[in-house]
Amino acid sequence: MSSPPAEEIPAPESSGPHAVDSSPLKSTTLVALGVGIGIGAAVVLVIVCAYVVLRKGRKRGDHFDPENQWKQNTPLPGGNVGGQLNNHGPRLVSHNSRQFSDGSATPPPPSSCSSLSSERPLQQSSSEVTARTFSYVDLALATDSFTSDNLLGQGGFGYVFKGFMPDGKEVAIKQLKIGSGQGEREFQAEVETISHAHHKHLVSLVGYCTSGEQRLLVYEFVPNKTLEYHLHGVDCSPINWACRVKIALGSAKGLAFLHEECHPKIIHRDIKASNILIDNDFEAKVADFGLARFYPDTDTHVSTHVMGTFGYLAPEYALTGKLTSKSDVFSFGVMLLELITGRRPIDRSQHYLDDNIVDWARPLLTQALEDGNFEPLIDPRLQKDYDYIEMGRMVVCAAVCVRHLARRRPRMSQIVRALEGKISLEELNDGMRPGHSSRYDSVASSEYETAKYKEDLQKFREMALESNNSGLLNSSRVTNNNSGVQPSASSSEGLQT
């Protein structure tokens, strides 16, 4: 007889010391897994945030960091040789100890927490400006912290320093006086006009700086001073006739480019000998565009406050404020008379009626164009060493440029061709040539008689004299806003050594 199947009996639960409980182990694993996931999520979140920040930064573009720039560019102690920047950077000089002839001192560089932090690009009112933007620190480094050793000149506008760019290029840096409304307007005018006018016979604007209230302009360096220096400088050897012709032709080409090839046209408004820079080959470059104005092709004239330099101002512009390109032509004619005669535009050593070069020269021009004898006009320092044909060209050009009536003055492109001998002098001078005319009609016209011109000139003289007596007229540049004459010193003085 078979026995019944054995009943499976479950093993009793162990309660001894070696028994293992698996529940706590499982809980620990779950906690560790949760912590790991949390850390991983945090890392991913940080990476995503960093990526977003970087993306936004790239979209904004790179911005100048004044604090960082100041720290990076702070010069180490050390001197330099010959004005060149050395490997350690220029030596910073105490500005409080530098005094100039007018008793003033150059302003110190701005602190990194004020002016530098407010550097901003020029607010442009016309087409895009192509000049480079510099920081104040860049220009402080270039000029050895604006040391007096690098000072080229000074005037009512401020100071001009010689500087060296990091690549060794020489530049002239004009530092405008702070707080001058006229200085701000001239700064804007220079940047907006010269940035778009590129020509062999125009001084080039390398760049500019707007740092807080600081306004600085950086030009190419023109090493051989100005036409004014070479004609009127103390103890300066007179320039020969060939150089005078080259300077006249070069400056005429620069001015013709402004009037006839720029769009819109540009009127310089302050053509004079001190605004013609000369290089070592005696090539001329027109400089100082602080008073320049755009002249739309559709306009017959621009009405504006009269500004310029007494002795060079066209009569109709000085009295009415109506500005055209022919105003520049008149000023150029005065400069040609300086080249021919060696006289200053206003010569206080002469008799009152002869102190103005145009009034003095008119009867001599008339006579020279009738008989072909130029000797009474010619600078005696030339010692008769000149080319007669070239002298005839220049005399005719000067005569037609300083005509009373603006519309009867030639265009500057005509003057260029006449000086080059490419058009006849009869064509330039209404069919008359030197030595063959019985009448020279630049002295008077039915629309603007000599008597009227002299009356208007006397009015302007009285305004200038009144301002001078009141202590206002301390410089050669004057303005007329129909309520008197105000000074505005030439902003080109000192752009040369």
**Whether the Cβ atoms of residue 190 and residue 292 lie closer than 8 Å to each other:** yes
174 assigned ligand-binding residue: yes
One-letter amino acid at 399 equals A
Residues belonging to the active site: 270
One-letter amino acid at 265 equals K
Please give the angle made by the CA atoms of 250, 256 and 259, to the nearest 5 degrees. Answer: 150
- The span from the CA of 93 to the CA of 97, in Å, is 9
Alpha-carbon 23 to chain mean position: 86
Which spans in 342-449 are helix H?
357-371, 388-401, 412-419, 425-428
- Cα end-to-end distance, the chain, whole Å: 138
- The span from the CA of 415 to the CA of 423, in Å, is 9
DSSP 90: P
DSSP characters over 286-342? E---TT-EEE-TT-S-EE--EEEETTTS-HHHHHH-EE-HHHHHHHHHHHHHHHHH-
- The span from the CA of 51 to the CA of 35, in Å, is 24
- The span from the CA of 238 to the CA of 247, in Å, is 14
**Whether the Cβ atoms of residue 267 and residue 325 lie closer than 8 Å to each other:** yes
One-letter amino acid at 495 equals L
Q: Is the dihedral of CA 171, 73, 144, 213 positive or negative?
A: positive
Q: Determine if the peptide bond prior to 264 is cis (ω within 30°).
A: yes
- The span from the CA of 429 to the CA of 424, in Å, is 9
- The span from the CA of 311 to the CA of 358, in Å, is 8
**Whether the Cβ atoms of residue 144 and residue 162 lie closer than 8 Å to each other:** no
**Whether the Cβ atoms of residue 283 and residue 277 lie closer than 8 Å to each other:** no
One-letter amino acid at 153 equals G
202, two tokens: 């125009």
**Whether the Cβ atoms of residue 372 and residue 391 lie closer than 8 Å to each other:** no
- The span from the CA of 348 to the CA of 355, in Å, is 6
418, two tokens: 């006449």
**Whether the Cβ atoms of residue 264 and residue 295 lie closer than 8 Å to each other:** yes
Q: Are β-strands 322-323 and 477-480 bridged in parallel, bridged antiparallel, or unpaired?
A: unpaired
List the binding residues for ATP.
174
